[in-house]
Amino acid sequence: MNAIRIERNNYLMRHGFGRFKRKSIIVSKSVERVDLTIALFAKFRVNGNIFDILNIGEMQQSIII
């Protein structure tokens, strides 16, 4: 059962991030950028809700004001 979850995560990462599809087309030159992409995936897709991304701008605006 755990292997199914891991494979599902791997599929979602490959499907959702262009830089993991074909290295000849989209390549991240920065290790930091790849790490940030994986961190965002973990935050919003694995541990949270993908729709929380839409609320980030609203939160930043309320902090600034």
Q: pLDDT tens across 15-59, in order?
A: 666 665 555 555 566 778 778 878 877 777 777 676 666 665 555
Is residue 19 within 8 A of residue 26, CB to CB? The reply is yes
What are the residues whose beta carbons fall under 8 Å from the beta carbon of 19, sequence distance 6 or more?
26, 27, 28, 34, 37
The total of structural domains in the chain comes to: 1
What are the residues whose beta carbons fall under 8 Å from the beta carbon of 46, sequence distance 6 or more?
9
| pTM beyond 0.75 | no
Range of the domain at 49: 2-64
Residue 7, amino acid: E
Helix axes 31-41, 2-16, angle to 10 degrees: 120
